[in-house]
Structure 1
Amino acid sequence: MESDITELRKNYKKDWRFRLALIGTGLALTVVVLGAFTRLSHAGLGCPDWPGCYGHLLWPNEGHEIAIANQAFPHAPVETDKTWPEMVHRYFAGSLLLLVVSLTFMFWRRRGHRGFYQSHFLLGLIILQAAFGMWTVTLKLWPQVVTAHLLGGMATLSVLWMLAERLRYRRRLIPPHEFTALQNLRPLAIVAVVVVSLQIALGGWTSSNYAALACPDFPTCHNQWWPAADFSEGFNIAQQIGPNYLGGAMESDARTAIHLTHRIGALIVALLVLAVAFRAWKAGSPRWAQGLIVVLCLQIALGIANVVLSLPLPIAVAHNAGAALLLLSLLTFCYRINTVQPEIRKT
């Protein structure tokens, strides 16, 4: 009887770790989307100080509060349509930090659990993310920091999701021929994850340098297949710290180079993901193949719509969410490949 109660308690605790990881994944995705909304609505410097906003826990919204704030920050007058997105993003990020601290504490109480080191890595990652959030403001949207902040958000989301997968998913037995086909597919799937991650970084660099509309037409750019582009300036990561980078500081040809590279990267991603989907279908995983193709097509459509429709805010934000979804789909597929085992048939 006591052993049964002990087992129930163990399952309950494990279940709560999984639930917390799953809630954290949803919260992390919300933070990523809110970060994209803040960046794309040009509200990254909506609050010139950190962690408050013009010295407020929320943001100044009364007439006298705005007047005092304008006196305290004459170089950055209050714009109410930009203060609230920044602070809402910060509060959601702070909530995620508290959740990860709680999750780490739950794992710390059982140091032998397989998610122990992963949860502590996650805690370190999200603390680093908080620092990047501060530097985004104090360094006035320095593109290197903004891009690193985006990548940190994607990494936090990915680690939380993979932790939830690890807590939920168990090894599955499949026929030997399917097992062999999936193991042969694993290197290509890993390459796809790496390339998608690089494409996300490139997307962050495109956004942080305001190059999303550097090519206003599609599929050509300035009605040319290969327009004038300054790649050395576009990918100069030694930009000076100090200027206000709101709106970007690069010349047109440099932004064109960034945008063109992002388009080329999208083509490479599409070919790789399609190759993974085709081989997954042949390996006996048609649902995974269909899912990857649907997510890929949605992401491509959103990217094209951003150019054709001149970067409407809802579509631009959805494009960021689509990148996260594509990355999580590939990571989950790689994890499932890694956990399957061949059936041993008795003769």
Structure 2
Amino acid sequence: MRKLIFCSLMLAILVIVLGAYTRLTDAGLGCPDWPGCYGELFVPSTADKVNAANSAFPHRPVEASKAWSEMIHRYFAGALGLMIFAIAAWAAIRRDARMPLGLPLFLCALVIFQAALGMWTVTLNLLPVVVMGHLLGGFGVLTCLFVLYLRLSPNMCRDKLKSAKRMLGFAFVGMIILGCQIALGGWTSANYAALACTNFPVCEGQWWTQIDVPSAYSVPHAENYEFGVHDYPARMTMHIIHRAGALVTFAYLLTLGIWLLRVQSKLMNTAGVALITVLSAQVGLGISNVVMSLPLTIAVAHNFVAAMLLLIMVWITFNLSMMQRRANG
């Protein structure tokens, strides 16, 4: 079971990276239907099939590179879903006390909802709320799998920490702040606002005179949301708020990391080093996205490191909760 969960965890990270690549290469509508591609299980490749696909979807002619990007993401996401159902079935049969059945069943429900969001992403033509929800759902699946893995792992946390309860509350708030920042990033990306500001550390011109929060977090009616439908002030506002969120997240998690370095626990000291290192890398990638005009490799890495940062925060929170139980026990 532990090996199966570990493989699922690695696959979930890969699916998140593939999803980011698909979104950043504008391949979210590479296949205009779901779950197949132009009515086929694989991307049409022969001349007859390409002609038939173009006739069936004249508004979206076949672009093989984008279609394959979308379908590869679907194949891996489908494989992940099957593995999660296998985990739930195994948990139901084995009934291990370390892994209550509730979490695997919740994961199954989340995977089904993720599949629905994947379908709506296509059928609703990249509706930003759906695209952001699909991203957050992927991070949710990753988090749940990691919690399952930690529950079945050999108990590495043997320290007793008097301040564990206070630190646990601080870490839990950090999880919430990080989740909100990931959501802000997802909304910015889903609305193609990543390059609404091309200067750093501030936006160009008199940006403060154009702040429009109500428009930035509204969903205008449109037939197709590809490449964004908001005006510049709204997209600029999304970008500015995402930067502000990054400052808050960095300050809060840096404080937590420094705190972890100063406690009498080798495990938490290691966690503090990991948190500060990955947090710094994420900030560097975010700045590079602006300064270098969103290069694909760095933009995909920004999503990957966000996932790593989330896993570190889950690891910290999980171990602090174990420490608190030992302190109380």
Shared fold (TM-score, shorter chain, > 0.5): yes
Q: How far off is 1:184 after superposition? A: 1.8
Among residues 69, 76, 80, which one is paired with 2:53 in the alignment? Answer: 69
Aligned-partner SS, 1:109: helix
Contact 1:173–1:342 (8 Å) recurs in 2: no
Who is 1:339 aligned against?
322
Aligned length, in residue pairs: 323
Equivalent residues in 2 for 1:125-144, closer than 5 Å? 125-144=110-129
Q: Given the alignment of the two structures, is residue 243 of structure 1 paired with residue 212 of structure 2, yes or no? A: no
Q: Which of 87, 95, 103 is the equivalent residue of 2:79?
A: 95
In 1, Cα distance between equivalents of 2:20 and 2:242: 17
TM alignment of 1:247-266, pairs within 5 A: 247-266=227-246
Over the matched positions of the two proteins, sequence identity in percent amounts to: 44
**Equivalents in 2 of 1:93, 1:343: separation in Å?**
41
**Aligned-pair CA distance for 1:331:** 0.9
Alpha-carbon shift at residue 112 of structure 1 (Å): 5.5
**Alignment equivalent of 1:78, drawn from 62, 65, 75:** 62
Corresponding position of 1:53: 37
| Cα offset, 1:279, TM superposition | 1.2
CA distance in 2, matches of 1:186, 1:307: 34
**Please, what is the CA RMSD of the aligned residues?**
1.5
Using structure 1 for the length normalisation, give the TM-score.
Answer: 0.90
How far apart are residue 232 of structure 1 and its match?
A: 1.1
Opposite residue 263 of structure 1, the aligned amino acid is R
- Partner residue of 1:220? 202
For residues 1-347 of structure 1, the aligned pairs below 5 Å read 17-111=1-95, 113-115=97-99, 116-170=101-155, 172-175=157-160, 179-224=161-206, 226=208, 228-236=210-218, 238-240=219-221, 243-284=223-264, 285-340=268-323, 341-342=326-327
Structure 1 unmatched ranges of 5 or more: 1-16
Q: CA deviation at 1:58?
A: 1.0
Is the contact made by 1:182 and 1:280 (CA closer than 8 Å) also made in structure 2?
no
- Tell whether the 8 Å contact from 1:147 to 1:204 is kept in structure 2 after alignment: yes
Following superposition, the deviation at residue 339 of structure 1 comes to 0.8
Structure 2's unaligned 5+ residue stretches are: none
Separation in 2, partners of 1:71, 1:60: 13
Q: SS state of the match for residue 311, structure 2? A: helix
Bigger-Rg structure (1/2): 1
Code of the residue aligned with 1:290 in structure 2: it is V
Corresponding position of 1:7 = none
Which residue pairs with 1:3 in the alignment?
Answer: none
